[in-house]
Amino acid sequence: MNYFVIGYYALLIGASCLAAFYGRRSIFMLLFSLTLVSFVVGIVGGESALWTITLCAGALALSAGTAYAFREFLVNISGRETAKALKTAPLTAAFGMFVIFTYAVMGIFAPVIAPHGEAEVISSAFAPPDDTMLLGADQLGRDMFSRIIYGARNTVGLALCATLLAFFMGAFAGLLAATKGGNLDQVMGRIADVIMSIPSLIFALLLLSIFGTNLIVLVIIVAIIYSPRVFRLTRAVAGNIVVMDYIEAARLRGEGDLYLIRKEILPNSTAPLIAEFGLEFCFVFLLIAGLSFLGLGIQPPTADWGSMVRENATLISFGEITPLIPAGAIALLTVAVNFVVDWMLWRSAGLKE
């Protein structure tokens, strides 16, 4: 028994007692079950296991604190209407927004932040971390940290372009199908079915090997693969709106389809579409990272998280976590975007007038 272990249990038990005394049921249950779990884990895993738990709890508390502060910050700097909406954001969403904000800064100011160029060879292959290289070197001796910073720009930027394109194609087709109906709707629906029936990764690999791998082709192919999902959602959402009386009134007035889409349908379907945009972004992002991992996405020497995982994959057999860092960056962004999307979905579902 040392002071850490004694302090650890004393803190947990004291906190649970306080929670119980002030009638905070859920907090008490959480703290006390953690105490009981710690007993078991402490006996099995020893002091180091307790340290792990402490570190995890600390990291969680730190993220929660950051998220809380970030939300307050956003509420203070934004306008009245936005502030009101932001106040309803749960901590997870605030955390997601913070992560997205960090990635955006990373991508936009990459040349300023990164200590070395993305294709600059500065040491031997797989050199360990030192004073100049925060995370060590990759298989060609390029600075890992710099490449991750540049990767944010390339991977995220590309995914954003592809998602936007997919979105414009899918949403426009969906709105048109819902407004026009009839044969046009049928034809578009069946085309979407055909595209969706082919496994996306295999379809992408096939098309990329036919048309060659350059960035524009990549963006267009990914956009085509993902637009049917947007098409379906938009058509379903718009389908509920076109039966409303105000659409009928506009039609009887003699309005054209473009006016109907732009002025009457689109303003009423933005909430689910924005939520879908976030979800699509994650999928597109993962697909591009996957393609890069397979060697058909973004081509070297451009830094990209997917190909970085592949290039450094051999290191994992030496017990190094370096290849996991770009993978972690992908995972963190995906989770963050999903947190924000969840909140938006909740808003669009629950706060309808």
Partner 1 sequence: MAEKPEKSVLLDIKDLRIEGYSDEKWIEIVHGVSLTLRRGEVLGLIGESGAGKSTIGLAAMGYARDGCRISGGSVEFDGMELTTSTEAELRVLRGSRIAYVAQSAAASFNPAHTLIEQHVEAPLHYRMRKRTEAQEDAMELYERLRLPNPQEIGFRYPHQVSGGQLQRAMTAMAMACRPDLIIFDEPTTALDVTTQIEVLAAIRDIVDQFDTAAIYITHDLAVVAQMADKIKVLLKGDEVEESSTIEMLEHPKEEYTRSLWAVRSFKRPQKARPGGDAVPVVSVQHVDAAYGQTKVLDDVSFDIHAGMTVAVVGESGSGKSTTARCITGLLPPTAGKILFNGEELPPSYRNRTKDQLRQAQMIYQMADTALNPKVKIHEIIGRPAQFYSGLSGAALKARVDELLDLIELEPSQYYNRYPPELSGGQKQRIGIARALAADPTFIICDEVTSALDQLVAEGILKLLDKLQRELDLAYMFITHDLATVRAIADEVVVMRRGKVVEQGPKDEMFTPPHHPYTDLLLSSVPEMDPNWLSTVLEERGVDNVGEAANI
- Closest approach, Cβ 71 to partner 1, in A, equals 16
CA-CA-CA-CA torsion sign (32, 34, 35, 39): positive
Half-sphere exposure of 97 (CA within 13 A, CB side): 22
- Closest approach, Cβ 21 to partner 1, in A, equals 23
- Closest approach, Cβ 273 to partner 1, in A, equals 13
- Closest approach, Cβ 175 to partner 1, in A, equals 15
* CA dist., res. 219 & res. 163, Å (int): 9
Report how far Cα 76 is from the mean position of its chain's Cα atoms: 25
- Closest approach, Cβ 263 to partner 1, in A, equals 7
- Cβ(118)–Cβ(302) below 8 Å: yes
The angle formed by the CA atoms of residues 255, 259 and 260, to the nearest 5 degrees, is 80
- Residue 118 or 264 with smaller CB distance to partner 1: 264
- Closest approach, Cβ 226 to partner 1, in A, equals 27
Q: Interface with partner 1 by CB under 8 A: which residues?
A: 244-246, 248-249, 251-255, 263-264, 267-268, 353
> Which structure tokens are listed for 166?
């997919």
Q: How many helices (H) and strands (E) does the chain have?
A: 15, 0
- Residue 255 or 342 with smaller CB distance to partner 1: 255
- Residue 17 or 83 with smaller CB distance to partner 1: 83
CA dihedral 13, 17, 23, 24 (to 10 degrees): -20
- Residue 131 or 245 with smaller CB distance to partner 1: 245
- Cβ(161)–Cβ(221) below 8 Å: no
- Residue 57 or 249 with smaller CB distance to partner 1: 249
Residue-level length of the chain? 353
> Which structure tokens are listed for 116?
């070395």
- Residue 139 or 270 with smaller CB distance to partner 1: 270
